[in-house]
Amino acid sequence: MVSEGRIRRADVAIKEGRIAAVGDLEKSKAARIISAAGKYILPGLIDVHTHPVYLDDMGALSAAAAHGGITTLIHYAYAKPGHGLLETLHRFREEGETKSVLDFGLHGGLFDPKNQAHEIPQAVKLGVTSFKMFMTYAKLGWMTDDYQLMRTLDIIAQTGGLGMVHAENGLATDYLEDKFNAEGRDPAEVFEATRPGILEAEAVNRAICLAQVAGCPIYIPHVSAKEAVEVIAQAKARGWRVYGETCPQYLTLTGEEVFRQGPLAKIGPPLRGKEDQEALWRGLTQGVLDVIASDHAPKEKKKTDDFFQAAYGSPQVETMVEVVYEAGVNGGKIMLPRLVQVMSENPAKIFGLYPRKGALAVGSDADLVIFDPQVEHTITGEGQHSNAPYTLYEGWRCLGRPVFSLQRGEVILEEGEVVAKAGRGKFLPTQAGKIDPKELV
């Protein structure tokens, strides 16, 4: 089994949905024995960055995640302008309790903090303790200005929650986009050129500084640029309460895909270069970045769509574990115990689910994944369970994949099929941002 930063040989006993014992165990009294010989037992894997809207609702998304070896999800519940935060959270929670095959928590997403931030203290009481705003997408009307960002971080700090931002400088990007488009340049080239890494790093730095002034811990999702990794490293070195997340697409793909796959590879922040990838892997191994999560956002898109009309996002949840294992562990970028820390233990700790989730320890929920490092397979869009009709990893050959999983002792994934029922998933109240980043592994 792989946990707490090491690999060892051990049996795991499960009773009434929890881990009852770990070690060299007597097996004669077991009702069922599941062999993991030659395979790895991992603690349940947690994806804290998913969007159960667009083509996959909470049922479809959780089933796709379960096929990919994930056992717990934290979804973004976006409150659009004109909607209340609480009303949105209730709606997502209800949908999850009816449709989800996996346990799930929620982040609140505020599109209009001016009219929504006052609901944050009540949201915290409901068990939603992390709140996201956008520093970009000004043209789409999603951007929060610094006044409202400062005010909302202040409110979050007072309620003991965790701030989150999509950190890119939206107004600067919009100006560059208008200018380059007027010059008639190639859309894929304009897209990459108008979102340089330093505009991400600038926004990361600004968000971290505002959060520090507010006394609010802050979590930066989908870090993609090497310059942003540097900013987070500096803030952590100062002892500031900052957490960093990156995603499989930034670790494994480059901006070349935008030219090859067009709108399918249109995601925000954009895919970047080889040097950025190296910086992200280094950030993960050195503890500057704490989490890998998918940013699964499956949208209806075709290669031939108008680039700037096409929506942002890509399907990622089902392929996440296999592609980061292939590129990371097989590729010599990261050791398996560290990969498990950033996909299970750390997200559980940051969102206050540990040690119920994220641990193979006595008393923890019996959430575990059996990973077979010897299965060779090819990723295809057709083979995916998401409703998105494509994958950015078409034709990728991977060695190793999750083959079996349990949640609370119930079988979720067996022989490549999800056998768990929709609606079995439980809502998980979080307590986000309580752990000092220095105490994370």
Q: With binding defined as CB under 5 A, does residue 245 bind Zn ion?
A: no
Q: Nearer to Zn ion by C-beta: 266 or 356?
A: 266
Rounded least distance, CB 48 to Zn ion, Å:
10
Q: Which residues pair with 43 in a beta bridge?
A: 368
Residues 334, 323: contact at Cβ < 8 Å?
no
Rounded least distance, CB 209 to Zn ion, Å:
23
Choose the stretch contacting Zn ion; rule: CB under 5 A; options: 97-105, 280-288, 289-297, 351-359: 289-297
Structure tokens at 286: 């050195």
Structure tokens at 222: 């989908």
Rounded least distance, CB 222 to Zn ion, Å:
6
Pairing of strands 11-15, 242-246: unpaired
Q: Nearer to Zn ion by C-beta: 391 or 407?
A: 391
Determine the Cα–Cα distance for residues 246 and 198; give it in Å rounded to an integer: 16
Number of Cβ atoms within 10 Å of the Cβ of 201: 22
Residues 299, 54: contact at Cβ < 8 Å?
yes
How many residues in the chain? Answer: 441
Choose the stretch contacting Zn ion; rule: CB under 5 A; options: 11-19, 276-284, 294-302, 385-393: 294-302
Determine the Cα–Cα distance for residues 126 and 109; give it in Å rounded to an integer: 15
Positive or negative CA dihedral for 54, 75, 290, 394? negative
The amino acid present at 82, given as its one-letter code, is G
Q: Which of 431, 392, 385 is nearest to 62 (CA)?
A: 385
The owner of tokens 């996909």 is 343
Q: How far is CA 377 from CA 39, 93, 396, 417, in A?
A: 16, 35, 8, 15
Rounded least distance, CB 49 to Zn ion, Å:
6
Choose the stretch contacting Zn ion; rule: CB under 5 A; options: 177-185, 211-219, 293-301, 374-382: 293-301
Q: Nearer to Zn ion by C-beta: 296 or 338?
A: 296
Q: Nearer to Zn ion by C-beta: 137 or 325?
A: 137
Q: Nearer to Zn ion by C-beta: 258 or 412?
A: 258
Rounded least distance, CB 50 to Zn ion, Å:
8
Structure tokens at 62: 């959780």
Considering only residues 23 through 82, tell me which ones interact with Zn ion, judged by CB under 5 A.
Answer: none
Q: Nearer to Zn ion by C-beta: 43 or 170?
A: 170
Q: Nearer to Zn ion by C-beta: 295 or 365?
A: 295
Rounded least distance, CB 312 to Zn ion, Å:
9
**Taking CB under 5 A as the rule, which mask of x and - marks residues 329-368 in contact with Zn ion?**
----------------------------------------
Q: Can you tell me which of 295, 322, 345, 367 binds Zn ion, judged by CB under 5 A?
A: 295
In degrees and rounded to multiples of 5, residue 243 shows phi and psi of -120, 145
Q: Nearer to Zn ion by C-beta: 2 or 74?
A: 74
Choose the stretch contacting Zn ion; rule: CB under 5 A; options: 147-155, 250-258, 295-303, 412-420: 295-303
Choose the stretch contacting Zn ion; rule: CB under 5 A; options: 80-88, 100-108, 179-187, 291-299: 291-299
Rounded least distance, CB 133 to Zn ion, Å:
12
Look at residue 66 and give its three-state secondary structure.
Answer: helix
Q: How many residues bind Zn ion (CB under 5 A)?
A: 1
Rounded least distance, CB 308 to Zn ion, Å:
19
Q: Nearer to Zn ion by C-beta: 276 or 295?
A: 295
Q: Nearer to Zn ion by C-beta: 299 or 333?
A: 299
Structure tokens at 405: 């999983």
CB-closest chain residue to Zn ion: 295
Rounded least distance, CB 7 to Zn ion, Å:
32
Q: Nearer to Zn ion by C-beta: 295 or 345?
A: 295
Choose the stretch contacting Zn ion; rule: CB under 5 A; options: 154-162, 188-196, 206-214, 287-295: 287-295
Q: Which of 186, 243, 247, 239 is nearest to 219 (CA)?
A: 243
Query: Within a 13 Å sphere around the CA of 351, how many CA atoms are in the beta-carbon half?
Result: 33
Rounded least distance, CB 3 to Zn ion, Å:
28
Q: Which of 59, 52, 18, 41 is nearest to 418 (CA)?
A: 59
Rounded least distance, CB 247 to Zn ion, Å:
8
Q: Which of 371, 370, 343 is nearest to 358 (CA)?
A: 343
Pairing of strands 130-134, 162-166: parallel
Q: Count Cβ atoms within 10 A of the Cβ of residue 314 and give its class: 0-12 exposed, 13-18 middle, 19 or more buried.
A: buried
**Sites of contact with Zn ion (CB under 5 A):** 295
